Amino acid sequence: MPMNPTIELIMHRHSTRTYDPAPLTQEEKDTILQATMRAPTAGAMMLYTIIEVEDQSLKDKLADTCDHQPFIAEAPYVLLFLADYQRWMDLYEGAGCEAKAAELGITPRKPAEGDLVLAMMDALIAAQTAVIAAEALGIGSCYIGDIVENAEIHRQMFNLPQYTFPAALLCFGKSASAPNEGLVPRFARKFIVHKDKYLRFSKDELNDLHLPFGRHSFAPGDFAGGAQNVAQANYIRKFTAAFSVEMTRSTREMIKRWVGERES
Ligand SMILES: Cc1cc2nc3c(=O)[nH]c(=O)nc-3n(C[C@H](O)[C@H](O)[C@H](O)COP(=O)(O)O)c2cc1C
Protein backbone atom coordinates (compact mmCIF):
# COMPACT_ATOMS: atom_id res chain seq x y z
CA MET A 1 0.00 0.00 0.00
CA PRO A 2 1.49 3.37 -0.96
CA MET A 3 1.91 5.43 2.18
CA ASN A 4 1.44 9.10 2.72
CA PRO A 5 0.99 10.88 6.06
CA THR A 6 -2.83 10.76 5.94
CA ILE A 7 -2.98 7.04 5.12
CA GLU A 8 -0.37 6.32 7.81
CA LEU A 9 -2.41 8.24 10.34
CA ILE A 10 -5.54 6.24 9.47
CA MET A 11 -3.68 2.91 9.47
CA HIS A 12 -2.20 3.52 12.92
CA ARG A 13 -5.22 5.02 14.66
CA HIS A 14 -6.56 3.02 17.56
CA SER A 15 -9.06 3.72 20.28
CA THR A 16 -7.57 5.48 23.30
CA ARG A 17 -9.08 4.83 26.72
CA THR A 18 -6.42 5.98 29.16
CA TYR A 19 -5.77 9.68 29.05
CA ASP A 20 -3.12 12.16 30.05
CA PRO A 21 -5.25 14.32 32.35
CA ALA A 22 -3.92 17.58 30.86
CA PRO A 23 -6.79 19.49 29.24
CA LEU A 24 -6.72 20.09 25.51
CA THR A 25 -5.70 23.64 24.63
CA GLN A 26 -8.32 25.98 23.21
CA GLU A 27 -6.39 25.93 19.94
CA GLU A 28 -6.55 22.12 19.79
CA LYS A 29 -10.30 22.14 20.48
CA ASP A 30 -10.89 24.88 17.89
CA THR A 31 -8.88 22.98 15.28
CA ILE A 32 -10.83 19.76 15.88
CA LEU A 33 -14.16 21.58 15.73
CA GLN A 34 -13.31 23.62 12.65
CA ALA A 35 -12.10 20.53 10.78
CA THR A 36 -15.21 18.65 11.92
CA MET A 37 -17.50 21.31 10.53
CA ARG A 38 -15.87 20.84 7.10
CA ALA A 39 -17.19 17.26 6.95
CA PRO A 40 -19.50 16.52 4.04
CA THR A 41 -23.08 17.25 5.01
CA ALA A 42 -26.36 16.32 3.33
CA GLY A 43 -27.64 19.26 1.33
CA ALA A 44 -25.17 21.49 3.21
CA MET A 45 -27.79 21.47 6.00
CA MET A 46 -25.47 20.44 8.83
CA LEU A 47 -28.09 18.16 10.38
CA TYR A 48 -26.14 17.78 13.60
CA THR A 49 -25.23 19.55 16.79
CA ILE A 50 -22.12 18.97 18.85
CA ILE A 51 -22.33 19.43 22.61
CA GLU A 52 -19.00 20.02 24.35
CA VAL A 53 -19.45 18.22 27.65
CA GLU A 54 -17.37 20.31 30.05
CA ASP A 55 -19.24 20.00 33.32
CA GLN A 56 -17.45 17.26 35.30
CA SER A 57 -20.69 16.18 36.95
CA LEU A 58 -22.15 15.44 33.47
CA LYS A 59 -19.06 13.41 32.55
CA ASP A 60 -19.31 11.51 35.84
CA LYS A 61 -22.93 10.73 35.13
CA LEU A 62 -22.18 9.61 31.55
CA ALA A 63 -19.55 7.24 32.92
CA ASP A 64 -22.40 5.59 34.78
CA THR A 65 -25.26 5.84 32.26
CA CYS A 66 -23.12 4.64 29.34
CA ASP A 67 -22.73 1.11 30.67
CA HIS A 68 -20.43 1.99 33.55
CA GLN A 69 -17.25 3.03 31.74
CA PRO A 70 -15.20 5.09 34.21
CA PHE A 71 -12.73 6.34 31.60
CA ILE A 72 -15.44 8.65 30.22
CA ALA A 73 -15.19 10.72 33.42
CA GLU A 74 -11.41 10.94 32.95
CA ALA A 75 -11.40 12.07 29.33
CA PRO A 76 -10.10 15.65 29.07
CA TYR A 77 -12.49 16.47 26.22
CA VAL A 78 -15.88 14.89 25.54
CA LEU A 79 -18.14 15.63 22.58
CA LEU A 80 -21.73 14.51 22.17
CA PHE A 81 -22.82 14.36 18.52
CA LEU A 82 -26.54 14.70 17.95
CA ALA A 83 -28.49 14.12 14.80
CA ASP A 84 -30.46 17.36 14.71
CA TYR A 85 -33.54 18.42 12.77
CA GLN A 86 -34.75 20.72 15.56
CA ARG A 87 -32.77 23.70 14.28
CA TRP A 88 -34.31 23.34 10.82
CA MET A 89 -37.83 22.83 12.20
CA ASP A 90 -37.45 25.97 14.29
CA LEU A 91 -36.16 27.80 11.21
CA TYR A 92 -39.06 26.54 9.08
CA GLU A 93 -41.49 27.65 11.77
CA GLY A 94 -39.91 31.08 12.09
CA ALA A 95 -40.03 31.54 8.33
CA GLY A 96 -43.74 30.66 8.01
CA CYS A 97 -42.97 27.64 5.84
CA GLU A 98 -46.09 25.62 6.67
CA ALA A 99 -48.43 28.50 5.80
CA LYS A 100 -46.54 29.06 2.57
CA ALA A 101 -46.72 25.35 1.73
CA ALA A 102 -50.48 25.31 2.35
CA GLU A 103 -50.87 28.33 0.08
CA LEU A 104 -48.96 26.47 -2.63
CA GLY A 105 -50.93 23.26 -2.15
CA ILE A 106 -47.93 21.41 -0.67
CA THR A 107 -48.72 19.01 2.17
CA PRO A 108 -46.71 20.00 5.22
CA ARG A 109 -44.74 17.29 6.98
CA LYS A 110 -42.64 16.82 10.04
CA PRO A 111 -39.35 14.96 10.46
CA ALA A 112 -39.85 11.22 9.96
CA GLU A 113 -37.70 8.11 9.79
CA GLY A 114 -35.85 9.11 6.61
CA ASP A 115 -34.92 12.48 8.06
CA LEU A 116 -33.61 10.74 11.17
CA VAL A 117 -31.41 8.41 9.13
CA LEU A 118 -30.06 11.29 7.05
CA ALA A 119 -29.30 13.36 10.15
CA MET A 120 -27.62 10.32 11.73
CA MET A 121 -25.40 10.01 8.65
CA ASP A 122 -24.47 13.67 8.94
CA ALA A 123 -23.70 13.44 12.65
CA LEU A 124 -21.59 10.28 12.31
CA ILE A 125 -19.60 11.60 9.37
CA ALA A 126 -18.87 14.71 11.42
CA ALA A 127 -17.87 12.56 14.40
CA GLN A 128 -15.39 10.50 12.40
CA THR A 129 -13.95 13.68 10.93
CA ALA A 130 -13.33 14.82 14.51
CA VAL A 131 -11.57 11.54 15.26
CA ILE A 132 -9.18 11.97 12.34
CA ALA A 133 -8.58 15.66 13.03
CA ALA A 134 -7.76 14.88 16.65
CA GLU A 135 -5.48 12.03 15.63
CA ALA A 136 -3.58 14.41 13.36
CA LEU A 137 -2.92 16.56 16.45
CA GLY A 138 -1.67 13.56 18.45
CA ILE A 139 -4.94 13.35 20.38
CA GLY A 140 -6.54 9.93 20.76
CA SER A 141 -10.24 9.18 20.95
CA CYS A 142 -12.82 6.54 21.74
CA TYR A 143 -16.44 6.24 20.67
CA ILE A 144 -19.04 5.35 23.26
CA GLY A 145 -21.93 3.57 21.58
CA ASP A 146 -23.78 3.29 24.88
CA ILE A 147 -24.89 6.90 24.50
CA VAL A 148 -28.02 5.50 22.87
CA GLU A 149 -28.95 3.85 26.18
CA ASN A 150 -30.96 5.61 28.87
CA ALA A 151 -32.79 7.94 26.49
CA GLU A 152 -34.87 9.55 29.24
CA ILE A 153 -31.85 10.35 31.43
CA HIS A 154 -29.72 11.74 28.57
CA ARG A 155 -32.65 13.80 27.30
CA GLN A 156 -32.94 15.43 30.68
CA MET A 157 -29.17 15.82 31.22
CA PHE A 158 -28.63 17.67 27.93
CA ASN A 159 -32.04 19.29 27.49
CA LEU A 160 -32.62 17.44 24.22
CA PRO A 161 -35.65 18.55 22.22
CA GLN A 162 -37.84 16.23 20.12
CA TYR A 163 -35.90 16.34 16.86
CA THR A 164 -32.49 15.55 18.27
CA PHE A 165 -31.04 12.06 18.61
CA PRO A 166 -27.72 11.04 20.19
CA ALA A 167 -25.54 9.67 17.38
CA ALA A 168 -22.16 9.32 19.08
CA LEU A 169 -20.29 10.19 22.22
CA LEU A 170 -16.57 10.74 21.72
CA CYS A 171 -13.89 10.89 24.40
CA PHE A 172 -10.66 12.66 23.48
CA GLY A 173 -7.27 12.96 25.13
CA LYS A 174 -3.61 12.33 24.65
CA SER A 175 -2.78 8.72 25.43
CA ALA A 176 -1.36 8.04 28.89
CA SER A 177 -0.11 4.60 27.90
CA ALA A 178 3.00 3.74 25.97
CA PRO A 179 2.66 3.82 22.19
CA ASN A 180 2.32 0.59 20.24
CA GLU A 181 -0.50 -0.95 22.26
CA GLY A 182 -1.03 -3.22 19.26
CA LEU A 183 -3.79 -2.67 16.76
CA VAL A 184 -7.05 -4.59 17.00
CA PRO A 185 -7.15 -6.85 13.92
CA ARG A 186 -9.78 -6.55 11.24
CA PHE A 187 -11.57 -9.41 9.46
CA ALA A 188 -10.24 -10.48 6.07
CA ARG A 189 -11.27 -8.16 3.28
CA LYS A 190 -13.29 -10.83 1.43
CA PHE A 191 -15.83 -10.79 4.28
CA ILE A 192 -16.22 -7.05 4.25
CA VAL A 193 -15.86 -5.91 0.65
CA HIS A 194 -18.22 -7.55 -1.84
CA LYS A 195 -18.43 -6.95 -5.57
CA ASP A 196 -21.67 -5.83 -7.18
CA LYS A 197 -23.95 -7.80 -4.88
CA TYR A 198 -24.20 -9.00 -1.33
CA LEU A 199 -22.53 -12.33 -0.56
CA ARG A 200 -23.57 -14.67 2.22
CA PHE A 201 -20.99 -17.07 3.59
CA SER A 202 -21.31 -20.74 4.47
CA LYS A 203 -20.70 -21.99 7.99
CA ASP A 204 -17.31 -23.32 6.87
CA GLU A 205 -16.30 -20.00 5.36
CA LEU A 206 -17.48 -18.11 8.45
CA ASN A 207 -15.28 -20.30 10.61
CA ASP A 208 -12.36 -18.30 9.20
CA LEU A 209 -13.77 -14.94 10.26
CA HIS A 210 -11.66 -14.76 13.44
CA LEU A 211 -8.43 -16.02 11.90
CA PRO A 212 -6.87 -12.52 12.05
CA PHE A 213 -7.52 -12.76 15.82
CA GLY A 214 -5.49 -15.95 15.94
CA ARG A 215 -8.25 -18.58 16.06
CA HIS A 216 -11.20 -20.03 14.19
CA SER A 217 -14.63 -18.67 15.07
CA PHE A 218 -15.82 -22.14 16.15
CA ALA A 219 -12.59 -23.43 17.69
CA PRO A 220 -13.33 -24.89 21.13
CA GLY A 221 -12.05 -22.89 24.06
CA ASP A 222 -12.96 -21.68 27.52
CA PHE A 223 -14.68 -18.32 27.65
CA ALA A 224 -16.48 -16.36 30.32
CA GLY A 225 -20.16 -17.07 30.85
CA GLY A 226 -20.00 -20.68 29.72
CA ALA A 227 -19.30 -19.91 26.04
CA GLN A 228 -17.30 -22.53 24.19
CA ASN A 229 -16.07 -20.62 21.17
CA VAL A 230 -15.49 -17.04 20.01
CA ALA A 231 -18.85 -16.74 18.29
CA GLN A 232 -20.70 -17.95 21.39
CA ALA A 233 -18.67 -15.60 23.57
CA ASN A 234 -19.67 -12.66 21.37
CA TYR A 235 -23.33 -13.73 21.41
CA ILE A 236 -23.38 -14.00 25.18
CA ARG A 237 -21.13 -11.07 26.11
CA LYS A 238 -22.41 -8.59 23.55
CA PHE A 239 -25.42 -9.53 21.43
CA THR A 240 -27.66 -10.72 24.27
CA ALA A 241 -26.05 -8.63 27.03
CA ALA A 242 -28.08 -6.27 29.19
CA PHE A 243 -26.52 -3.23 27.47
CA SER A 244 -27.75 -4.43 24.04
CA VAL A 245 -31.24 -4.97 25.37
CA GLU A 246 -31.23 -1.51 26.96
CA MET A 247 -29.88 0.03 23.75
CA THR A 248 -32.83 -1.33 21.84
CA ARG A 249 -35.39 -0.24 24.42
CA SER A 250 -33.92 3.23 24.59
CA THR A 251 -33.54 3.62 20.81
CA ARG A 252 -37.11 2.49 20.27
CA GLU A 253 -38.23 5.13 22.77
CA MET A 254 -36.25 7.86 20.96
CA ILE A 255 -37.61 6.85 17.54
CA LYS A 256 -41.14 6.86 18.98
CA ARG A 257 -40.62 10.40 20.20
CA TRP A 258 -39.08 11.55 16.90
CA VAL A 259 -41.99 10.25 14.79
CA GLY A 260 -44.66 10.97 17.42
CA GLU A 261 -46.98 13.93 17.96
CA ARG A 262 -45.18 17.23 17.56
CA GLU A 263 -44.06 18.72 20.88
CA SER A 264 -44.13 22.46 21.28
C1 LIG B 1 -20.09 2.85 17.19
C2 LIG B 1 -18.97 2.50 18.14
C3 LIG B 1 -19.23 2.34 19.48
C4 LIG B 1 -18.20 2.04 20.39
N5 LIG B 1 -18.48 1.98 21.73
C6 LIG B 1 -17.47 1.76 22.60
C7 LIG B 1 -17.71 1.78 23.99
O8 LIG B 1 -18.84 2.01 24.44
N9 LIG B 1 -16.65 1.57 24.81
C10 LIG B 1 -15.39 1.36 24.34
O11 LIG B 1 -14.48 1.19 25.16
N12 LIG B 1 -15.12 1.33 23.02
C13 LIG B 1 -16.14 1.55 22.14
N14 LIG B 1 -15.86 1.59 20.79
C15 LIG B 1 -14.49 1.36 20.29
C16 LIG B 1 -14.36 -0.04 19.71
O17 LIG B 1 -14.32 -0.98 20.74
C18 LIG B 1 -13.07 -0.08 18.86
O19 LIG B 1 -13.18 0.82 17.78
C20 LIG B 1 -12.80 -1.50 18.34
O21 LIG B 1 -12.54 -2.39 19.38
C22 LIG B 1 -11.63 -1.50 17.36
O23 LIG B 1 -10.50 -0.98 18.01
P24 LIG B 1 -9.69 0.25 17.43
O25 LIG B 1 -10.61 1.44 17.37
O26 LIG B 1 -8.58 0.48 18.44
O27 LIG B 1 -9.18 -0.13 16.09
C28 LIG B 1 -16.88 1.88 19.90
C29 LIG B 1 -16.63 2.05 18.54
C30 LIG B 1 -17.65 2.36 17.68
C31 LIG B 1 -17.33 2.60 16.23
- Taking only the tens place, the pLDDT of each residue in 179-190 is 666 899 999 999
> Is the Cβ atom of 213 under 6 angstroms away from ligand 1?
no
| DSSP secondary structure, 116-150, as one string | HHHHHHHHHHHHHHHHHHHHHTT-EEEEEGGGGS-
- Taking only the tens place, the pLDDT of each residue in 20-32 is 999 999 999 999 9
Structure confidence at residue 35 (pLDDT): 98
| Mean pLDDT value across residues 229-250 | 96
> Is the Cβ atom of 142 under 6 angstroms away from ligand 1?
yes
Closest CA to 165 of 112, 243, 94: 112
| Mean pLDDT value across residues 121-125 | 99
> Is the Cβ atom of 243 under 6 angstroms away from ligand 1?
no
Give distance in angstroms: CA of 143 to centre of ligand 1: 5
Instruction: Decide which of 222 and 202 is more confident.
Output: 202
| pLDDT over 90 percentage in the chain | 95
- Taking only the tens place, the pLDDT of each residue in 34-57 is 999 999 999 999 999 999 999 999
Backbone angles phi, psi at 105, to 5 degrees: 75, 20
Non-local CB neighbours of 203 within 8 Å, separated by 6+ positions: none
The overall pTM is greater than 0.95 = yes
> Is the Cβ atom of 128 under 6 angstroms away from ligand 1?
no
Looking at ligand 1, which residue's alpha carbon is closest to its atom 7? 144
Give distance in angstroms: CA of 171 to centre of ligand 1: 11
Distance CA 205, CA 91 (A): 52
Instruction: Decide which of 1 and 244 is more confident.
Output: 244
